[in-house]
Chain A
Amino acid sequence: MITTPTPPVLDIQHLHKEFRLRGTGRDRVLTAVDEVSFTIHAGQTVALVGESGSGKSTIARCITRITEPTSGDVLVEGRSIIKMPSRKLIDIYRSLQMVFQDPNSSLDPRKTARATLDEPLRLHTSLTSHQREQRIRELLAEVDLSDHLIDRLPRQLSGGQRQRLGIARAMAVDPRIILLDEPTASLDVSVRGQIIRLLERLQENKGIAYLFISHDLGVVRRISDRVLVMYLGTIVEEGPTEEVFTHPVHPYTQSLLSAAPLVEVGRRRERVRLAGEIPSPVDLPAGCRLVGRCPVATTACATTEPSLLNVTGSHRAACPVALDMQQVPST
């Protein structure tokens, strides 16, 4: 893990996103991301984990302004992008790139590998066409795609090759940070490992920071420096990866991390499981979002929404009850 005194490459402050759902009668509000804050430093990998629908993709889409956030701020290398007019965003996209989950739909079906990689080079650099051609071949080599694929259309490539091309496209402008939204989820299990190793190697060589969204906790544990655990639009626990994986504090993290839904809570060695299903993010009630599913909930949980509290160092969890249990000396 690299920590630097320079401003973080990505600084997310109170990011908030609501979707208005038009229905019969009054409009209802779906809170997809609720006041989320975190930072990513140069060369760091921060993982974002959590159940489907917890708002991970929405965070990535708000950071790139593919989706406009409702409120909050996003700073890329210290520059706020939220109020930036969209024609100025092109400068930001030189530092900030994204790899999409599904390369089948994120690559233009009518553009060859060459044309796909030429586009960012043409728009962001003043390279001559000869220099661009050279750079395209370098990029292909960097992602282990052989030269003879240069004139292929996406449908003439395999799934893994397509995702390599998607990664090369993101790398073309030498960004400081890449958002990876489940970059291997659409791929065959056999090629997932290769893509992860490629991403690790690119990071080592270039010092890029990653926001890594994934359901694969094994990979998260292996490649990320920090992990953010999301539940219904909020971060419920965050900290150094090993720390969170070995000492999960929040009941939700504990249930997420255990292969079976049976976990140990704090030092009480009590086996618990979350009851019921993830509730709807529409018209969220006051209090902790886990109330009703949480085995250790108290009456206070239903009224006050817990905020992130320090566990140790930069490890924080949004559950006062579990934190109290942590402090109980072992007997």
Chain B
Amino acid sequence: MTTVPVNMTKKPEPHETYVHGHHWRSAEDEKDAAKLGMWLFLGTEALMFSGFFCAYAVFRMLYFDTWHESSKYYLNWKIGGFNTLVLLISSFTIVQAIRGAQLGRKMMAFWYLAATNVCALTFLVVKLGWEYLPKIQKGELPGGFFTYGHGPAGTTHDQVFLGIYWVATATHGLHVLIGVFIIGWCMIRTMKGHFGPKNYMFLENTGLYWHIVDIIWIFLFPMLYLVG
């Protein structure tokens, strides 16, 4: 084996010595593969949510007028709009975290990740505290558990609307929650020096995941809150 003269001024961080998995020909290939795999996964996410979108589209078509009223009645666009902004900002901060890793600035990556997680938690708190809790108290629950006596439509349409609202936003919320944990893990790995200019794949894929969560919300928001 060729010996390389090493005159390191300090112990290299994990990301500096990483080569690549044994079955890859180059780090470049490994990186491309990880990214392609991630995009395929994002495709499956989009298709999974398409079930909600499809159900929404069908009932929106059938119950065009009543859903207009239901949305205005049950949902507050200000809360939804606030959460939209929070998610958009968090998308930007995670991009900056990746930039930090690419530039080799560990603390920049760390703090931007922290900011992202603050946004994510804000989203969850607003969602739970200002939307879910009051709804549960009032009985504005999905379908069969709907006990709130007189909606604007007063028909089963309310129940389907709330049904789709609950399953779609709860599934999305679950994705946000998972995101919080992954980003938290990224923060730990950043501090351990796992990410650097040559190796930030995990961070970048986390970013991709976070962006798809954002994109799904970008669609859910007008569909549910801005039906008017």
A-B interaction:
no
